[in-house]
Each structure stands twice: as C-alpha cells, then as structure tokens.
C-alpha cells in the first residue's frame, strides 16, 4: 500500500454539458449496500430540473437534426469510451449494488453492448417503422418516425448502470433529448456515466442527469409544460398515478415500465417506439 492519500471525487449534476452543484446547495450521503459511506451526491431541486429541461430543449434541434448516421457514430463512441473506463464502472457498480465483482463485470459489459445495440438502431428505425403508403389517388404518401422531443426519465432504482443505460440510450438514439432522475440510492455510476457522455461527442444538453430524491423532483417534470414524454420506470409506486395525471396536462407520452423489467436481456424496439411520432407526408403526382 502506498502512503499516498487519494483524491476523492465530488459528484455533481450534469446539465447542459456542464457539471454544476445543485442550485439548492444541498447534498445527501450515498452509502454502499452495507451502509458504508461512499460519497455525497448533489440533491437536485425543482430549479435544477427546470434548468435541465431548458438545456434539453435547447439541444433538441441540433440533436434531432443530426443525421442518423452521425447519431449512430456518437452512440458507438459512448460504448468505446465506456469500455475504456470499464474497471472504474465495475468498482462503482459493485459498491452501489452490492454485487460480486464478477456480476458487476457482466453488468458493465452488458451496458457497453447496450450502447452498441442502440448505436446500430439510429439509421434503421425509419426503415423498420416507416412506410410508403399506397393511397388510392395520385399522391405520393410516406410516413416517417420522428423524435417526440424532451423526455423526462425516472431511471430504475435498482440497476444503477445497465438499467440507466437501457433507459437513456433508446431515448437519444432516435433524436430525443432527456432529463434523467437517477436511482435515488445508487446515483454514483450515473454521474460517472455523465463524464463518459461529456467526452463522447454527445452534445451538451442531450442528456441531463440529476441526482436526488425522485419523489421530490418527478412531479415537477411530470407537470412541466416543455416536457413531451415521461418514463415512469423508476417512479415510486405511490406516485405513479399522480405523475400520470400530471402528465395529462400537456398530453405527455407516458411509458409505464413493465414490472420487473430484466435489463440483462437484449431489448426489443418498445423503448424506441415509446418516444417516436409518426409523420405522414402527402405530395401530388402529375406532370
């Protein structure tokens, strides 16, 4: 053992590509599965959530307007950078989730591969879900999927990295931007993931990550006028119906998570489809 004293990391929020502390000045202690102290995490506030929505909205035109090929390259880059920090994530996931190192390895590997899976989807979604419509008239009609907009994601409470990646990647693959409330008790891998996102050519504001009390922040996102969709995966059971009711105020698309979703299984397209609009275009044909 070296005598050197290590430098402890300050875990902050990730909003608009920057790493601010909570504007509220609050933080809360994060412990491992046995109750040992790991770090203090920023305790995000309503104002932080609103700032994050503004950042996500600002990033939306650029990200949704990028070519699907470009988005695919960026998502693949996330996998590359994540692979490079594999050991760090194994340590954090093992500490956060209280799983053996071997299990943590497989969770981190699956998280890396999940980015690769969604990287490959970006330029195939339209080919699978789009159509040319054989309408009964002299018109060329086609339908294409387009991103819904700003998505508020309540990340799974248990799966601190793989679950988190599994809910973020499908949102941004198709061109949406998002505000994510991390697992309340296991937030540290999420903040480290934001460091990966920040160095992977993901434009600032495309993914915004807030740590804190889910029950405190989620209602503000559910009722926020500039949020277009809400993923309830990590919502407290007692709040789900209320959050859905709030979401109705601006007709948000709500993803009710499947009970006990197993994130280790390769996903289908359902999380991609959840945040897509279909646009149908008509154009006359004739000389």
Partner 1 sequence: MWEYAPAPESRDIANLKPNYRMFVDGKFVEGTGEPLKTINPATEEVLAEVSTASASDVDNAVKAARRAYDRVWSKMPGSERAKYIYRIARQIQERARELAVLESLDNGKPIKESRDVDVPTAAAHFFYHAGWADKLSYAGYGPDPKPLGVAGQVIPWNFPLLMAAWKIAPALACGNTVVLKPAETTPLTALVLADIIQQCDLPPGVVNIIPGAGDVGATLVEHPDVNKVAFTGSTDVGKIIQRQLAGTNKKLTLELGGKAANIVFDDAPLDQAVEGIVNGIFFNQGHVCCAGSRLLVQESVADELLEKLQTRIQTLRVGDPLDKNTDVGAINSGEQLAKIKELTESGEAEGAQRWTSSCPLPDKGFFFAPTVFSNVSQAMRIAREEIFGPVLSVLTFRTPDEAVAKANNTPYGLSAGVWTEKGSRILWMAQRMRAGVVWSNTFNRFDPAAPFGGYQESGFGREGGRTGLEAYLDV
Contact between 285 and partner 1 (CB under 8 A)?
A: yes
Tokens describing residue 264: 């280790």
Regarding 286 and contact with partner 1 (CB under 8 A), the answer is yes
Do residues 144 and 279 touch, judged by C-beta distance below 8 A?
yes
Which part of the chain contacts partner 1 (CB under 8 A), choosing from 50-58, 113-121, 181-189, 250-258? 113-121
Among 140, 201, 226, 256, the residue binding partner 1 under the rule CB under 8 A is 140
Binding mask 187-216 for partner 1 (x = CB under 8 A): ------------------------------
**How many C-beta atoms lie closer than 10 Å to residue 100's C-beta?**
9
What's the maximum distance between 2 C-alpha atoms anywhere in the chain? 83
Q: Least separation, in Å, of the C-beta of 106 and partner 1?
A: 14
* Total residues in contact with partner 1, by rule CB under 8 A: 24
Give the H or E element holding residue 201. none
Q: Select from 31, 269, 273, 277 the one that contacts partner 1 (CB under 8 A).
A: 269
Please select the residue that binds partner 1; options are 72, 147, 149, 156, rule is CB under 8 A: 72
Q: Report CA 255 to chain centroid distance, whole Å.
A: 13
Of 7 and 127, which CB lies nearer to partner 1 in the complex structure?
127
Should residue 135 be labelled a site residue for partner 1 when binding is judged by CB under 8 A? no
Nearer to partner 1, 79 or 104 (CB): 79
Interface residue with partner 1, options 121, 220, 263, 275 (CB under 8 A) = 121
**Do the strands 139-147 and 276-284 form a parallel or antiparallel pair, or are they unpaired?**
antiparallel
CA quadruple 6, 7, 12, 15: dihedral sign: negative
Distance between CA 157 and CA 141 in Å, rounded? 43
221 touches 65 (CB < 8 A)? no
Report how far residue 176's alpha carbon sits from residue 65's, in angstroms, rounded to the nearest whole number: 10
Match 């434009």 to its residue by tokens. Answer: 203
**Residue 20: how many CB atoms within 10 A of its CB?**
14
Question: In DSSP terms, which residues pair with 278 in a beta bridge?
Answer: 145
Sketch the per residue contact string, 52 through 71, with partner 1: x for CB under 8 A, - otherwise.
----------------xx--
Q: CA 231 to CA 153: how far, in whole Å?
A: 5
Residue 117 interacts with partner 1 (CB under 8 A): yes or no: yes
Nearer to partner 1 among residue 105 and residue 158 (C-beta): 105
The verdict on 128 binding partner 1 (CB under 8 A) reads yes
Site for partner 1 in 171-190 (CB under 8 A): none
Q: What tokens were used for 160? A: 């601190």
Asked if 19 is part of the footprint of partner 1 (rule: CB under 8 A), the reply reads no
CB of 116 to partner 1, least distance (A): 6
Indicate the helix (H) or strand (E) that contains 277: strand 276-284
Task: Select 69 or 241, whichever has its Cβ closest to partner 1.
Answer: 69
Tell me which residues touch partner 1 (CB under 8 A).
68-69, 72-73, 76, 113, 116-117, 119-124, 127-128, 140, 266, 269, 283-287
């Amino acid at each position: 053992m070296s005598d050197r004293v290590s430098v402890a990391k300050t875990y902050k929020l990730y909003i608009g590509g920057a790493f601010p502390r909570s504007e509220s000045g609050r933080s809360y202690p994060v412990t491992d599965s046995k109750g040992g102290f790991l770090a203090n995490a920023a305790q995000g506030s309503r104002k932080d959530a609103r700032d994050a929505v503004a950042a996500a909205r600002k990033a939306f035109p650029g990200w949704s307007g990028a070519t699907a090929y470009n988005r695919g390259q960026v998502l693949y880059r996330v996998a590359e950078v994540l692979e490079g920090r594999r050991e760090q994530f194994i340590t954090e996931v093992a500490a956060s989730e209280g799983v053996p190192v071997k299990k943590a390895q497989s969770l981190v590997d699956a998280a890396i591969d999940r980015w690769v899976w969604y990287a490959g989807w970006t330029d195939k979604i339209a080919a699978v879900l789009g159509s040319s419509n054989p309408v009964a008239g002299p018109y060329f009609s086609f339908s294409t999927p387009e991103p819904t907009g700003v998505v508020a994601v309540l990340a799974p409470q248990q799966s601190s990295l793989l679950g988190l990646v599994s809910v973020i990647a499908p949102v941004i693959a198709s061109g949406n931007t998002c505000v994510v409330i991390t697992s309340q008790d296991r937030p540290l891998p999420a903040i480290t993931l934001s460091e990966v996102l920040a160095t992977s050519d993901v434009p600032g504001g495309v993914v915004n990550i807030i740590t804190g009390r889910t029950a405190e922040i989620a209602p503000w996102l559910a009722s926020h006028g500039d949020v277009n969709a809400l993923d309830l995966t990590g919502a407290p059971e007692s709040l789900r119906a209320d959050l859905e009711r709030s979401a109705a105020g601006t007709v948000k698309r709500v993803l009710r998570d499947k009970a006990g979703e197993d994130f280790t299984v390769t996903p289908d397209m359902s999380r991609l489809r959840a945040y897509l609009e279909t646009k149908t275009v008509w154009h006359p044909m004739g000389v």
